[in-house]
Amino acid sequence: MVTVVANNLKTKGIKAIEEVLLTQPEAPISVHGKVKYVVMSQQQYQYLRECELEAALAESKSDLAGGRFVKETVAQHISRLKQINAVAQ
């Protein structure tokens, strides 16, 4: 994977990122030899967000199928959250 060096970003600007994104979906940015940031196109970002949402939906469906849920009123839910917070403190 090609990495954009921070100094290249300073001199070439966005062009340095655009060049990398022509050949790969993400452009890692390294500072002092270590990757600290990753830049991607809006299209790639949207794709990853959709993947996250699909994974969350699959997890929710699995929890429902496995009986791992609580059915309660709003008041009961707030009371349960207060109890959980009290124990955590």
pLDDT band at 89 (very low <50, low <70, confident <90, very high): confident
CA 68 – CA 58 distance, rounded (Å): 13
> Among candidates 79, 55, 78, 19, which has minimal Cα distance to 27?
19
pLDDT digits (tens, 9 = 90+) for 34-88: 999 999 999 999 999 999 999 999 999 999 999 999 999 999 999 999 999 999 8
Mean pLDDT of 30-34: 95
Q: How many CB atoms lie within 10 A of CB 18?
A: 13
Domain boundaries, the chain: 4-40, 43-88
pLDDT of residue 77: 97
